[in-house]
Structure 1
Amino acid sequence: MIYGYARVSTKGQLRDGNSLDAQHDSLTEAGCTEIVQEAFTGTTTDRPEFDALLDRLKDGDTLVVTKLDRIARTVTGGCEVVRSLLDRGVTVRVLNMGTLDNTPVGKMMVSVMFAMAEFERDMIAQRTAEGKAVAKQKPGWREGRPPAEVDMEEFKRHVALVKAKKEKRRDACAQLGIGVSTYTKIRRRLIDSGELEG
């Protein structure tokens, strides 16, 4: 069997020709006899349709995707899935890269992908370390993210809406551009200083 897998994030799914329709068309043209598709946000790791497809794939089957990042959110994660499938006798075809199988050429391509993933990870770590070393030389440097800048009047307005049950706390946080923990800290600080009622 030749299976196709299409995935999009629900945000910005029409960018870069990665919409479900575009992927479905490409996979159909590639000869897929069955296409599995799903959508989820970029922060979600649960992929029930893909996990179910992986369980069904057997020796001699082919999995086709338009790009490697359809399989996983990271190159490393994608490589791990590919290697696992190849070990099971499943051929993986990435339309913008080529066919990956247990032939010497297929194994070489996987090795190159792993090497590039490791190189990318090492370069990111090196740039992060260099950036931190430079930052430490600046006056007033401290570890961690800078404190969130929040318009206090706008913050108080949202707190009032949440208190009156006219807005959910997570929606207030989204509007303010802060996380729930930051919201809680600022609210507690304002209550302690007497600027807000508890």
Structure 2
Amino acid sequence: MNTIKLLFEKGVRINVLNLGIIENTSTGRLIFTIFSAFADFERDLIVERTQEGKELAKQKPDFREGRPKKFNQQQINLAMNLLKNHSYKEVEKMTGISKSTLTRNKRKIIKTSGNKLSD
């Protein structure tokens, strides 16, 4: 809104494609203010609906926020065992699990158990 006011002060006319030209007149400012209020209102409605949806989803016992895991723990364990005899690239080709996921899980295993897997 402040940007539009600054542009109006510099004599810029705003052309809204489906509305036409909005100038620095009382009518133009009124139209702009109304459309800005509707945009804010719509944004608030979206936030409210999102929060309501999250609250409803959290009531389900199997709710997990965030992105779902691509691989289950059994697949990760298989890939970790394959790393004992194969390179990261070979394991990535065999399992479809990326090198970054493999190294992240390897670090996690080392950190939690102190076990070192051989490269």
- Gaps of at least 5 residues in structure 2 are 91-95, 110-115
TM-score, scaled to structure 1: 0.38
Return the match for 2:105 from 176, 181, 189: 189
Moved over 2 A (4+): 79-84, 150-153, 183-187, 190-197
Q: CA deviation at 1:90?
A: 1.3
Return the match for 2:68 from 127, 147, 150: 147
Return the match for 1:102 from 18, 24, 46: 24
Q: Which amino acid aligns with 2:103?
A: R
- Cα displacement string for residues 96-122 of structure 1 (whole angstroms, at most 9, x for unaligned residues): 221111111110111012111111111
Question: In the superposition, relative to structure 1, how do residues 132 and 84 fare at CA in structure 2: closer, same or farther (>3 Å)?
Answer: same
Q: Give, in whole Å, the separation in 2 of the partners of 1:110 and 1:138.
A: 43
- Cα displacement string for residues 75-94 of structure 1 (whole angstroms, at most 9, x for unaligned residues): xxxx5533331132211112
- Aligned to 1:128, the other structure's residue is in SS state helix
- Cα displacement string for residues 105-164 of structure 1 (whole angstroms, at most 9, x for unaligned residues): 11011101211111111101110111011011100334x3133315969x99xx528xxx
Q: Which residue of 2 aligns with 1:73?
A: none
Q: Give, in whole Å, the separation in 2 of the partners of 1:95 and 1:147.
A: 40
User: Are residues 1:130 and 2:74 paired?
Assistant: no
User: Are residues 1:119 and 2:41 paired?
Assistant: yes
Q: Which residue of 1 aligns with 2:9?
A: 87
Q: Which amino acid aligns with 1:147?
A: P
- Aligned to 1:146, the other structure's residue is in SS state coil
TM-score, scaled to structure 2: 0.59
Q: Give, in whole Å, the separation in 1 of the partners of 2:35 and 2:118.
A: 55
Q: Which amino acid aligns with 1:100?
A: I
Which is strand-richer, 1 or 2?
1
Count of aligned pairs: 96
Q: Which has the larger radius of gyration?
A: 2
- Gaps of at least 5 residues in structure 1 are 1-78, 162-175, 177-182
